[in-house]
A and B are shown apart, each in its own frame.
Chain A
Amino acid sequence: MDRIYLDHNATTPLAPEAARAMLPWLTERFGNPSSVHGAGREARAAVEEARRAVADLVGASPDEIVFTAGGTESDNLALHGTVRRAAARGKGTLVISAIEHPAVLRAAEGLEREGIRVVRLGVDADGVVDPAELERTLAEHSAGLVSIMAANNETGSLQPVADLAAVCRRAAVPFHTDAVQAAGRVPLAFDAWGFDLLSVSAHKFHGPKGAGALAVRRGFRIAPQLVGGRQEKGRRAGTENVPAIVGMGAAARLALADLGTEAARLGALKRRLWEGIAAAIPGAHLNGALDRTLPSTLNVSFEGVDGEALILGLDLEGICVSSASACSSGAVEPSHVLIAMGRGFDLARSSVRISLGRGNDAAQVERLLEVLPGVVERIRAMAAVPS
């Protein structure tokens, strides 16, 4: 049975172009970008080339890109690198949304224990934050940072980040966005939209795992969280992971080149998928509006179906989808995102996330539509029998 991978919000396969670009840096080329000699200079040049590619992908200047080990580190650097310093100047509130990724949620909880006030903005039924509510919040609190994701990892719900950044600019509060799911899938304009900080992760757009970046607006100061050497202009110490950074650059170029066509192609597949589900399976609820979510993400709850059982049932058919973020043991908890959207506990536990990507085609979508009704039916039949 051929495996069908429909979980691109979890991770994506490495693009062959990225693998090819990385290979020399895993074999004959090994210099340290901080070295002054030839081996070091060629490594430096490769890192700077990748920096330009990542800057282009998010609409920033190359000098605004700080390479990290991934999205989680970028989010932690954004929050920890700004919030404590702002609190020391009397701006002791951190504003986030209720649907952030755990990298932001847990970092915020940690800061909360240190005495930072954390305000969590709610979302509407489609999972979207209201800029007017942010404006009211900033009028009431002396905030040191606003951190709201660009696209949600579970539902794909797109946040009005340009509007949110504008609200922040008027209130003179720095704005960070976790763009880990958005980068490479929808256009981003870091400079033009007036963002201060933006997180990305390479493996969500067909780059390697272990590489990410935080875009930091020129002139914006962050406190480094890893200290040591002067790498990344003193904002992130440690010898650069050159192969991964090179791969991230190659993947960023590819993603930017394909952005419009892939978004249109995957958007059409997603629409077909939802129409097929809605036609074949009663009691299916779309989580997030089709036109306010990433073109590649579809999140559906099935009444009376345990989401965990559905994922396992599809896995046994060779189809990879997922639910809310899994905990370390692999057990599934109800989604905080769907709860925030006002879904009841039962529907929140009965959701699956289908996230499309470069390797998917219409035949795979049809295969899912062929298998899904039977798996849902089987689970419903069992749930109806008392045990």
Chain B
Amino acid sequence: MIRAARGRVVVAMSGGVDSSVAAALLARGGWEVVGVTMRNFCYGDLPAGSGASCCSLEAIEDARRVADAIGFPHYVLDFEEDFGRAVVDDFVREYAAGRTPNPCVRCNRLVRFPRLFSRARALGADRLATGHYARLGRDVGGRPTLLRGADRAKDQSYYLWGLTPRVLERTLFPIGHLTKSQVRAAAAEIGLEVAEKPESQEVCFVPDGDLRGFLQREVSARGLSADALAKFRPGPAVDAAGHELGTHPGSGWLTVGQRRGVGLALGEPRYVIELRQPNTAVLGTREDLAAGGCDLHEVNWTAGAPPAAELDAEVQVRHRAEPVEARVEPVSSTAARIRFGRPVTAVAPGQSAAIYRGDELLGGGVIRRALPRSDGAREPVGV
């Protein structure tokens, strides 16, 4: 083993093409690469070939194969306990509370980056790298900044709003400046045998995609309160004025902004505009769905501290959503109020709002509740 000129870097590998190319580029660039794959949940009972989830046995084998081909060590790190507590438990609890959690954001914020970061340091590595489509920069003061990936269609910065300056300072995103097709070309040129996998959209710890089945099992396995359990049973659907429209399958299965799967045929498109305690779904038109802003909690600023005053920025409330101009008011170090420049539909409590200025990700938070439009069309949405 040769001591590489640029130091040791731990690369988080999922077995997919992005992180494989990231590792290969670093190895070529003179880094001493150590590949790791997180084992986040027990996949022992899943049949082989059951999915593209990021820590299935096959993914581990794929990452190992890439490491062997390029010639660097690869290890599997067991984070099942941390991941179960920080991500899976929260996921079930949030659904049971009628909110729509984002487990990828939570994993990045509470497990993947902090845990891999300290593990990397323990292994004597100066840097941690991932295959995210995001870039790093420096502001005039030399402070690290987090930027959107160069490939706007693949940009994953939305999922990274929870990163702290301490982590950013020692993180590398080796493919953030590339497009997906450039990454594929690089893989072919390096000779990486990475299977072209479908882009995985589902939740990694529900590899069969059966979210309902998963929640049903987990909610009963966790002995949640009767109130929580009731959210997974049929409940009343009402309109904004409170008139009963029929029965929905259970608010635990529903998300604000959802149209299909409500189980009611009402002639015109109806959306879930609010989920009320204990188990009521309020349905309305697309118009009713629009919010004028939202309140965030669990807020993180990538600079390490909130800005001193209100600021104009762009806010994105879903991974693929268009960013919307907004006024952002830091309420405390971990809370903020956002007023959109124009109404935004489907602002779902539990989801993330990422705050940008141009390409720079300033921070983000978890949506606590939607705020009514300034014309006062309706009352606040959420819990």
Contact = CB atoms under 8 A, between A and B. Distances in A.
Chain B CB within 10 A, most for which of A318, A333, A379, A381: A379
B166 to A, nearest CB: 9
A308 interface: yes
A382 B96 CA distance: 36
Nearest to B166: A387
Contacts of A111: none
Interface in A320-341: 328-333
Contacts of B78: 308, 331-333
B121 A318 contact: no
Contact of B124 (A308, A313, A331): A313
B123 A330 contact: no
Interface of B is mostly: mixed
Contact of B123 (A1, A313, A332, A333): A313
B122 to A, nearest CB: 4
Most-contacted residue by chain A among B34, B75, B117 (CB, 10 A): B75
Contacts of B1: 1, 316, 318
Nearest to B74: A330
B76 A331 contact: yes
Nearest to B120: A382
A86 interface: no
Nearest to B167: A387
B26 interface: no
Contacts of A313: 122-124
Interface residues of B, number: 20
B73 interface: yes
B229 interface: no
B118 A385 contact: yes
A309 B119 contact: yes
B60 interface: yes
B124 A387 contact: no
B83 to A, nearest CB: 12
A378 B117 contact: no
Given A308-B78, A382-B121, A315 B57 contact: no
Contacts of B235: none
A313 B34 CA distance: 11
Contacts of B343: none
A162 interface: no
Contacts of A332: 78
Nearest to B80: A331
A264 interface: no
Contacts of A259: none
Leading 9 A-B pairs by shortest Cβ distance? A387-B114, A331-B78, A382-B122, A330-B76, A379-B122, A382-B121, A387-B118, A309-B122, A331-B39
Given A313-B122, A378-B122, 4 more contacts: A329-B57, A330-B76, A379-B122, A382-B118
Interface of B: 1, 8, 34, 39, 57, 60, 73, 75-78, 114-115, 117-119, 121-124
5 contacts: A331-B76, A331-B77, A379-B122, A382-B118, A385-B118
